[in-house]
Amino acid sequence: MDSHRLLAALALLLTAVGAPFVMQWGTAPCIAGLVLGIVTLLRAPAERAVERRAGWAAAVGGGLALGIVFTVQVAAPNIVTAGQKAAGRQSVATLRTLLWAQDQAVKDHGRAAVIGELSGYRGMGDGAALPVPLLRDPFRRLKPGATGGVVDFGGYIYQMWIVGPDGARYTDARPGEAPTVVPRGAVHWLAYAWPSNPGATGYRAFCINRYEDILEAEDGVRYAGADNPPPWDACITGGGIEKRLVEGVGGDGGVWKRWRGQETRRGRETKQGKASPDDG
């Protein structure tokens, strides 16, 4: 057997053996088959049609097999991770929308409001709904959760917790239950966002307070779906709901850190005494 035929046969054999097992041990044979197939095409003269066809088959087959490995092991996970990060950024943007709505509620009504009130799903305690809801339509779709009414959209679950002047805690009532009545003067609150399906729709939980302190849970799989929410004080790291949120161990025993490792503008201004969280 001459060198051209031997080279072509070896390239084809390596690709044929490695391709079915490319996700296990077949990567190296496929790489060797691809390289030898290219070498065959470069060395075999045009009249050696059989050898050139074998070289093409080895090169194309090896390339396709390696492409599958790259897609499954590198590209697809990166796409999923990028999608999870984008969903996380969107959930933080939504929490900031809740902050804006709470600013308006405190300014106009002297207290914070639960999501159902802010969205117009329910009245503001006295039964009268807001003339113009402060939150858009998805927040009108309350569903039952383990600790109260929650909202599920964009791959994340949202829940609001308010603490009254006497320390009592308030959150949305489940659909069909009596509405939550929050007393005046209740201005301290926390809002949470956590994945409805960790690993698919998101990768960790987030929380925000009236100072725009935004923390994220270091453990990304602790909370999942409406039936497994964070406890009301999960991200409280500074001693109480009326205090600033700092990096550290929260009320749930987990580690919480600043989102993107930095304070927000309002957080910095509040710390420096330049702004009040109720300035809007």
Render pLDDT for 210-228 as a digit per residue (tens, 0 to 9).
Answer: 999 999 998 766 888 899 9
Q: What is the pTM of this model?
A: 0.68
Q: What is the mean pLDDT of the chain?
A: 80
Determine the pLDDT at residue 274: 53
Distance CA 184, CA 125 (A): 10
Domain ranges of the chain: 3-76, 85-271
User: Can you give the pLDDT at residue 34?
Assistant: 72
Which tops the pLDDT comparison, 69 or 29? 29
**Residue 45 and residue 122: Cα distance in Å, rounded?**
81
Q: Using a CB cutoff of 8 Å and minimum separation of 24, what contacts does 41-47 make?
A: 43/4, 43/7, 44/4, 44/7, 44/8, 45/4
Q: What is the C-alpha separation between 137 and 118, in angstroms, rounded?
A: 11
Of 243 and 56, the one with more pLDDT: 243
